[in-house]
Structure 1
Amino acid sequence: MALLNRRDCLAWAAGAAAAAMAGPLWAQPARPVADAGAKSVLQPFVGVQPQVAAKRLISLSGALTEIIYLLGAEQLLVGSDTTSNYPEAADKTPKVGYVRQLAAEGVLSLKPDTVIGTTEAGPPVVLQQIAQAGVTVALVQSDHSWDEVLRKIRLVGQATGKQAQAEQLAQRLQADWDQTQAQVRASVAAGRAPRALFVLSHTGSPQVAGQATAADALLRLGGASNVMQGFQGYRPLTAEAMAQAAPQVIVTTTQGLEAVGGAEKFWARPELALTPAFKNKTMVALEASQLLGYGPRLPQAVQALHQGLLAIQP
């Protein structure tokens, strides 16, 4: 477990300041895990441990914000980042900006005593400035795993003084997760692991997910194999790559479909024309924050993805 005091936290932030963070949050490879042995820790993975419950809390993660509401601690929330849009009430909280492009002034203007987030948050120099202002900053390691979800739940429990409720939530979701993963393992053992391609099309230029992305991990958790190998992060969708990859199914987000004008226009892209997925029009589309946010709805997302994959004809 990596637990740093403020001095260590500031040194970490300053040393990482040169690592610029840009682009969509989900279109980024996972950062290296500082302590590979840490599993489901009760303390925040990076930063300082909240010693007392927050009175004025800011969340820098949509998943953490969702957990705050599930634990009934939303009265402590004075602000959140722009990925915090679920439940609907969270979308109405004062926003401090995009999680990778924060400004200390915007965060500090809401007078928080505690800020919680993941290691996706930044720039690091801004986190340093917030900590220097006397605010407790606690970050959970983001590694696109089920353990990440449990770490998030327990951090929110600490930060809000609702540890018992957090443990109950973690245990309930663990049961759901175990059931879902048992189904996935059975399908994979039976040879049902379709070749899948994740397409992120929230902007005008669709991107495909390679390794070390939230989408890559999600496909594996759902029982699919990612056809995009040999690179990390996201790359533009190209006809040559699609023909070689030959995905059986396209996985995307409902927001992405809306952005391009619906499923019919999505399939009209010439890059997809030579794929088995295009021939059979096989697609699974789910809401973005549920699919890629690695929050408390992850068991539901993986279950829905798995069921969609099972519907594909071998």
Structure 2
Amino acid sequence: MVTDGVGKPITLPGPARRIISLAPANTEILFALGAGPQIVGRDTTSDYPEQAKTITDIGGGFGELNLEAILAQNPDLVIASMLTPSEQTKALQDAGVTVFTLGNPVDFDGLYTNLHTVAQLTGHEPEAEALVGEMEERVATIQGKMAKNSQRPLVFYEIDGTDPNAVWTPGPGTFIDSLIQMAGGDNLGANLQGEWVQISLEELIARDPDLILLGDALWGGVTVESVKARAGWEALTAVQKEQIFPFDDNLVSRPGPRLVDGLEGLARLLHPELFQ
């Protein structure tokens, strides 16, 4: 018996062999553990690794799940996320499908727990041990480098700059907040209220970050040039010194194995001198 992220215990007769993933992080975890061949359906936003795109798309993401397509795959396990709407989870359970909701970690220990849990559900415990061990070594390497660091730049991570006068940024207690801290920086949003927060241009100018990271560069098409052209943003030191960098948000917003890639990427941006 395994208890999921919403406190629901489930029991499987054996390792799941026909799995449907309802979140891109879940899909990445499954592939990283060697359970990719066991996936028979994935949500629309699951696009990594490349092999995931060849698996049957059952909807979801920001749209509706295709219940008929899910049932047609005869799954013995559906792995949902904490972001999966409860009505979708209930519809699957009402149809007799076993649903496991994977918790949303806020640090690496929580992520390692998720990896071991999914490994237990899918019969890949040895692979999880190896993967977690490798990730722990890489995290320790970054921590060792940061122990030599005495300067901590103030970092503004932009999640959504659709309204440049009220940009969304990660607040305290989020994995992105934790990653910035571990990478040797201070998250500007750490003293705001809420996990995902809008900050006014006035407050942003008052705080004056050393670096601006564009988490909306890939999905939103935001560029360094477009940020420099925003009215009022020329007052920011990071803009004046051209300390604006696009960043692959998938590496820090999807709670899967690539979070360690995100940590390494952040550390290199914040402290390039430690990687020369």
Shorter-chain TM range is 0.7 to 0.9
SS of 2:240's equivalent in the other structure is helix
Write out per-residue CA displacement over residues 90-110 of structure 1, whole angstroms, 9 at most, x where no aligned residue. Answer: 133222334465547254343
Shift in Å, 1:302? 0.6
Give the aligned partner of residue 264 of structure 2: 303
Q: Select the residue among 197, 215, 220 that pairs with 2:156.
A: 197
User: What secondary structure, in the 3-state scheme, does the structure 1 residue paired with 2:120 have?
Assistant: helix
Indicate the residue corresponding to 2:244 in structure 1.
283
Unpaired segments of 5 or more residues in structure 1? 13-44
Tell me how far apart the structure 2 counterparts of residues 271 and 218 of structure 1 sit (CA, whole Å): 29
- Equivalent runs, 1:1-314 vs 2, <5 Å: 3=3, 46-99=8-61, 102-103=64-65, 105=67, 107-121=70-84, 123-187=85-149, 190=150, 192-201=151-160, 206-228=167-189, 229-236=191-198, 238-253=200-215, 256=217, 259-260=220-221, 262-311=223-272
User: 1:132: Cα distance to partner?
Assistant: 3.2
Question: Which amino acid is 2:52 matched to?
Answer: A
Three-state SS of the structure 2 residue aligned to 1:273 is helix
Which residue in 2 is equivalent to 1:33? none
Question: Following TM superposition, by how much is the alpha carbon of 1:227 offset from its aligned partner in structure 2, in angstroms?
Answer: 1.6
Q: What TM-score, normalized by structure 1, do the two folds share?
A: 0.75
Q: Which amino acid aligns with 1:68?
A: L
Aligned length: 269
State the Cα deviation string for residues 56-104 of structure 1 (Å, max 9, x = none): 1011222221222223322211111233111112133222334465547
Q: Secondary structure at the match of 1:270?
A: coil
> Aligned partners of 2:206, 2:156: CA distance in 1, in Å?
12
1:142–1:49 CA distance, 2 compared to 1 (3 A)? farther
**For residues 277 and 202 of structure 1, do their structure 2 counterparts lie closer, same or farther at Cα, with a shift above 3 Å needed?**
closer
Percent identity for Structure 1 against Structure 2: 24
Q: 2:260, 2:56 → 1: CA distance? A: 29
Distance 1:102 1:259, change over 3 A: closer
- Counterpart CA distance in 1 for 2:62 and 2:218 is 24
Contact 1:260/1:266 (8 A) holds in 2: no
CA deviation vs aligned residue, 1:97-134 (integer Å, no higher than 9, x gap): 3446554725434331101133232x113212322333
Q: Which runs of 5+ in 2 are unaligned?
A: none
Note closer, same or farther for the CA distance 1:261–1:275 as it changes in structure 2 (3 Å cut). closer
Paired amino acid for 2:10:
V
C-alpha distance in structure 1 between counterparts of 2:218 and 2:225, whole Å = 9
Deviations for 1:168-219, whole angstroms, at most 9, x for unmatched residues? 11112121122222323442xx2x2111111023757642333343432332
Instruction: Report if aligned partners of 1:204, 1:260 keep a CA contact under 8 Å in 2.
Output: no
Residues 286, 130 of structure 1: alpha-carbon distance in 2 compared, 3 angstrom cutoff: same
TM-score (norm 2): 0.84
Shift of 1:48: 1.8
